Amino acid sequence: MELKNLDKIVALCKNRGFVFSGSEIYGGFANTWDYGPVGVELKNNIKKAWWKRFVQESPNTYGVDAAILMNPRVWEASGHAQGFSDPKMDCKSCKQRFRADNLIEDHSHGKVSAEAMTNEEMETYIAENKIKCPHCGNFNWTPIRQFKLMFETSRGTVDGEKDTVYLRPETCQGEYVNFLNIQRSARAKVPFAIAQIGKSFRNEITPGNFIFRTIEFEQMELQNFCKEATSFDVYEDYKKQAHQFLLDLNFKDDHLKFHDHDKLAFYAKAACDIFYLFPMGWSELNGIHHRSTHDLSRHQEFSGKSMQYVDPVTNEKFVPNVIEYSIGCDRLVLAVLCEAYDEETLENGETRVVMHLHPALSPYKVAVLPLQKNLSEKAKGILKTLSKEFMCDYDEAGSIGKRYRRQDEIGTPFCVTIDFDTLEDDTVTIRERDSMQQIRLKTNEIVSYINERIKF
């Protein structure tokens, strides 16, 4: 299978306003990224599609928007305060820092997993295979040391009396700590789920590959609280749903694969990821984890609040099991961009770059293009009507061919062209992105025509 070229996708993202380097005018700030006008629309549409599928259309699923800064005890209960770290190695020649597990996985092109290896086993593997520094090419490593991944900040106004607080490294703790609130206020019955979309922060040692791994990112996470007896059915069901969601967003099935974890955390009963064939090879896109009663039990222990659920029919009291489905929003943006990017050779031999985005994800649903500038008044009237329904773009500069190409590159599914006939009979040409077919429509038919074709 041919891999997409990440450099070309990054360049298009910058040129067309999907994603820019963070703080660029100051020389950037490593591994932070800013979403531009079309990027923010794409990302919002991805979040909307996820929320629609997993909250709006999912019975017994409730949303939450929890605070980023949480009581520090939360991170003691979750284990992050004690153990959220990665194995790092420094290159003594060029001073660059790497994750030992990534060095092994990259060197073996993903064939060897370091997931289940101890630090000693990783050091031995790196020594035996003479894995060199990817930056300077030398073989001159420090031993492995653990590197803390949580960002710290402090709360308090009096110097010397500040408390350390953490930027959350995952959103799901906000779901666990609201288990009782949501169960009570929504009168939720097990099995039910709590979903959240929000920012997470990790002081990653080796961020990179554009927006694949960053230090600040958004997660879309969902915890299903269920009985132990049905927990594996719930787990299998989320595997199916997670897979179907990606297929419905136009992912090709042979670009996706399930990967069962080689080593389970001591409390986990099952864990798998969906891998996507990114330009740098197969890599994790999302995870589905059977976390047993671990999370609620830990919060029960650390908060002193009972996390037991009382079955209204049997009166049975129990701490529910948790099935977690988690996907990085920015990582999904990257996967969507990679999946959609295409270079097509046209009949006249020219190449067109086109983003075959699912229309529901496209930043603009329609671009309004007057054939000539003296048609702009009519075109702006049509734009005003369409803007009440959709995110629209408007472009009157340059040849119509170039304007179509620009819309193809940002994945706009429809272009409406206003010409002199429009003034006579109130019809426009509507051009579809993928087929490049054009039809003629009455202006009052445009909204329903587009609406029927952008549903998710």
Give me the numbers of helices (H) and strands (E) for the chain, helices first please: 15, 23
Residue 231 binds ligand GAP, judged by CB under 6 A: no
According to CB under 6 A, which one of 86, 105, 295, 330 is a site residue for ligand GAP? 330
Residue 217 beta carbon to ligand GAP: minimum distance, rounded to whole angstroms: 4
Residue 383 beta carbon to ligand GAP: minimum distance, rounded to whole angstroms: 36
Binders of ligand GAP among residues 369 to 388 (CB under 6 A) are none
According to CB under 6 A, which one of 36, 198, 320, 328 is a site residue for ligand GAP? 328
What number of other Cβ atoms are within 10 A of residue 377's Cβ? 11
3-state SS record for 276-324: EEECCEEEEEEEEEECCCHHHHHHHHHHCCCCCEECCCCCCEECCEEEE
- Which one, 218 or 395, has the nearer CB to ligand GAP? 218
Cα 305 from Cα 179, distance rounded (Å): 11
Residue 177 binds ligand GAP, judged by CB under 6 A: no
The size of the chain, in residues, is 456
Residue 172 binds ligand GAP, judged by CB under 6 A: yes
According to CB under 6 A, which one of 231, 326, 362, 443 is a site residue for ligand GAP? 326
Residue 178 binds ligand GAP, judged by CB under 6 A: no
Residue 228 beta carbon to ligand GAP: minimum distance, rounded to whole angstroms: 21
In this structure, the strands spanning 309-310 and 163-166 are: unpaired
Residue 327 binds ligand GAP, judged by CB under 6 A: yes
What number of other Cβ atoms are within 10 A of residue 407's Cβ? 24
Site string for ligand GAP, 350-369 (x = CB under 6 A): --------------------
State how far Cα 392 lies from the chain centre. Answer: 24
In this structure, the strands spanning 152-155 and 163-166 are: antiparallel
Span interacting with ligand GAP, options 108-116, 212-220, 238-246, 341-349, rule CB under 6 A: 212-220
Residue 221 binds ligand GAP, judged by CB under 6 A: yes
Residue type present at position 309: Y
Residue 42 binds ligand GAP, judged by CB under 6 A: no
Residue 202 binds ligand GAP, judged by CB under 6 A: yes
Of all residues in the shown chain, the one whose CB is closest to ligand GAP is: 328
Residue 323 beta carbon to ligand GAP: minimum distance, rounded to whole angstroms: 12
- Which one, 114 or 327, has the nearer CB to ligand GAP? 327
Span interacting with ligand GAP, options 71-79, 186-194, 321-329, 393-401, rule CB under 6 A: 321-329
Beta strands in 52-101 (DSSP E): 61-63, 85-90, 97-99
In DSSP notation, 108-170 reads TTTSS--TT--HHHHHHHHHHTTPPPTTT----BPPPEEEE---EEEE-SSTT-PEEEEB-S-
Beta strands in 346-396 (DSSP E): 351-355, 366-370, 392-394
Cα 373 from Cα 354, distance rounded (Å): 26
Residue 245 exposed, middle or buried by CB count within 10 Å (0-12, 13-18, 19+): buried
Residue 223 binds ligand GAP, judged by CB under 6 A: no
Residue 292 binds ligand GAP, judged by CB under 6 A: no
Classified as helix, coil or strand, 402 is helix
# residues contacting ligand GAP (CB under 6 A): 18
Span interacting with ligand GAP, options 41-49, 231-239, 308-316, 327-335, rule CB under 6 A: 327-335
Residue 150 binds ligand GAP, judged by CB under 6 A: no
Residue 168 beta carbon to ligand GAP: minimum distance, rounded to whole angstroms: 10
Residue 54 binds ligand GAP, judged by CB under 6 A: no
| Interface positions with ligand GAP (CB under 6 A) | 170, 172, 202, 204, 213-214, 217, 219, 221, 284-287, 326-328, 330-331
